[in-house]
Amino acid sequence: MNLEDLKKIYQGKIDLKSFNVDQFLASLGEKKETVAQVIVVVVSVLTAVWLWGSARDREDQYRRDIDRLNIKAGVVQSYKDGLKKMQSFMETVPKGLDEEQFASHIADHAAQNSVPIMSFFPGRKKSDNFSDALSALVTVRAGSYRGFLQFVKDMEGSAHSLRIDSCSLSSQASGGRGEGMIEAQMEISSVSIRK
């Protein structure tokens, strides 16, 4: 029995009743080397396919693991970048003032702009977990509106966190051009962020 006979059996041209199993086994026995080689090749091919599929699965798993690690590394890097930005921001935040420095800075800005302080009343002091706030009620008198505006501009533009929360102006005009004495009642505050 040879390959042609097997094809004929498959195609139904040979009746299986006339098939001689002993003769078929004998023909296989004569070609033991060939059969062994075919079996080795088939087993090798199946093993290679299995190993290749297994390697692909491991490679896919490694890629998924690498992607997960890259995502985690991205989160860590974002945290580090955010922390650097926060530290950079905190360095630019104006320095906080205590009560004495607060009053002193207001007086300094008033003196630099020739704006006398008529009254100074310390206001409320608030603190929470993140910041401290001081305030004062101040009455000043300026020789002109421009002088008053320069005082406000210098104070709010200072390196310290001084700001005007409210302001009420009254004036005494002289000369008909809107020039004259300006009196302002202001609430001035300073907020400092805790570092």
- Tokens 């991205």 locate to 74
pLDDT, tens only, 38-69? 778 888 888 888 888 888 888 889 999 999 99
Q: What percentage of the chain carries pLDDT values higher than 90?
A: 27
Edge to edge, the sheet with strand 131-142 lists 117-127, 131-142, 180-193, 162-173
Average pLDDT of the chain is 81
What are φ and ψ of residue 35, in 5° steps?
-65, -45
R_g of the chain computed on alpha carbons: 47
Distance (Å, whole) CA 160 – CA 90: 13
What are φ and ψ of residue 115, in 5° steps?
-115, 100
| Tokens coding 184 | 């302002």
State yes or no: pLDDT of 80 exceeds 70.
Answer: yes
Least confident of 12-26, 75-89, 100-114, 154-168: 12-26
Right CATH for 99-193 from 3.30.70.60, 3.60.15.10, 3.30.465.10, 3.30.70.260: 3.30.70.60
- Across the range 110-131, mean pLDDT stands at 88
Categorize the per-residue pLDDT at 186 as very low, low, confident or very high, splitting at 50, 70 and 90: very high
List Cα–Cα distances, 194 to 91, 124, 127, 132, in angstroms: 11, 18, 10, 7
Residues contacting 66, CB < 8 A, separation 6+: none
Q: Provide the CB-side half-sphere exposure for 102 (13 A, CA).
A: 27
Distance (Å, whole) CA 172 – CA 29: 129
Per-residue confidence (pLDDT) for residue 93, from 0 to 100: 72
| Tokens coding 99 | 């009560």
- Total residues found in the chain within this entry: 195
What are the extents of the domains in the chain? 3-68, 99-193
